[in-house]
Amino acid sequence: MNGPALPSRPAAFPANWPVRIAYAGLLVYTLYVCSILDVSLARLISGLDHAAKLFGRMFPPNSAPDKLSLIADGMIESIQIAVLSTFLGTLLSLPLGLAAARNLVPLWLASAARMVIAVCRSFHPIIISILFVKAVGFGALAGMLALVISSMGFVSKLFAEILEEISLKQIEAIRATGASFTNVLIFAVVPQVIGRFIGLSVYQFDSNLRNSTMVGIVGGGGIGAALFTAYQRFDYDVVLTILLIIIALIILCEVASSRIRLVTQ
């Protein structure tokens, strides 16, 4: 029984041509970049061969006592760098973040502070480390100062955003009592933001610990120096030991910091 043809129903999921074209564009871009960057299957395959050799030389990880004591020294220095740079970086972020909060300070000051923050944030910690190694010489101080700068960039930006979200009611209430600007800060602003600021600092410690394992590659102290030396001497088994220790420490720290952030919020 054939009735009159039903009007064709629209497809349940109509084709979305703009999206398809965008995906095709990404594919074309990928192929183009692979060709100009000399990324090819042949190189990947020959790389697998090297990778097998590399892993062969990495296993088993070197656990000779003298190497381990060297690694322990480096790790301790990395932790020190992370602790100090987080402390100084978050401490300096307090005034910088406050100066960048547009609801609390005049606009000219906020714009100037935002410029400073942008400069701190734009450079990778490694580039800042290179400059500090030139300014204050090799060693932990250079790495620490570099991480202070990058901590300031990250923490003050987010701290300024937190400050801009605070409720103005408490501020009005405290101001109505005739409190000075300092007292307004202490009694109206700080209680609203302290929890999130501590959370931010703990997160930054995590991030600084990761970066403190790296600044040693350019002379900024910490485990990176030992790692880079081992790498240049082709002691890949020592490299693996260091990598495993770094991963273990960072997992530990990440678990601890997520717990701490739960407590403080």
Nearest CA to 73 among 146, 145, 140, 136? 140
How wide is the angle at C-alpha 212 spanned by C-alphas 209 and 213, nearest 5°?
95
Q: Which is nearer to another protein, 144 or 193 (CB)?
A: 144
Contact pattern for another protein over residues 117 through 146, marking x by CB under 8 A: -xx--xxx-xx--xx--xxxx-xxx--x--
**Total of chain residues touching another protein, rule CB under 8 A:** 62
Candidates 93-101, 158-166, 176-184, 224-232; binding stretch for another protein (CB under 8 A)? 224-232
Alpha carbons within 13 angstroms on the beta-carbon side of residue 242 total 26
The full 3-state SS of 175-205, as one line of letters, equals HHCCCCHHHHHHHHHHHHHHHHHHHHHHHHH
Tell me the C-alpha distance between 202 and 195, whole Å. Answer: 11
Q: Binding of another protein at residue 36 (CB under 8 A)?
A: yes
* Residues 183 and 161 sit within 8 Å (Cβ to Cβ): no
Candidates 3-11, 25-33, 63-71, 102-110; binding stretch for another protein (CB under 8 A)? 25-33
Q: Binding of another protein at residue 79 (CB under 8 A)?
A: yes
Q: Binding of another protein at residue 116 (CB under 8 A)?
A: no
CB of 95 to another protein, least distance (A): 19
Q: Which is nearer to another protein, 30 or 111 (CB)?
A: 30
* Residues 218 and 133 sit within 8 Å (Cβ to Cβ): yes
Nearest CA to 73 among 156, 139, 155? 139
Residue selected from 28, 39, 190, 194 as contacting another protein according to rule CB under 8 A: 39
CB of 214 to another protein, least distance (A): 4
Q: Which is nearer to another protein, 124 or 180 (CB)?
A: 124
Candidates 46-54, 62-70, 98-106, 172-180; binding stretch for another protein (CB under 8 A)? 46-54
187's tokens: 């009694």
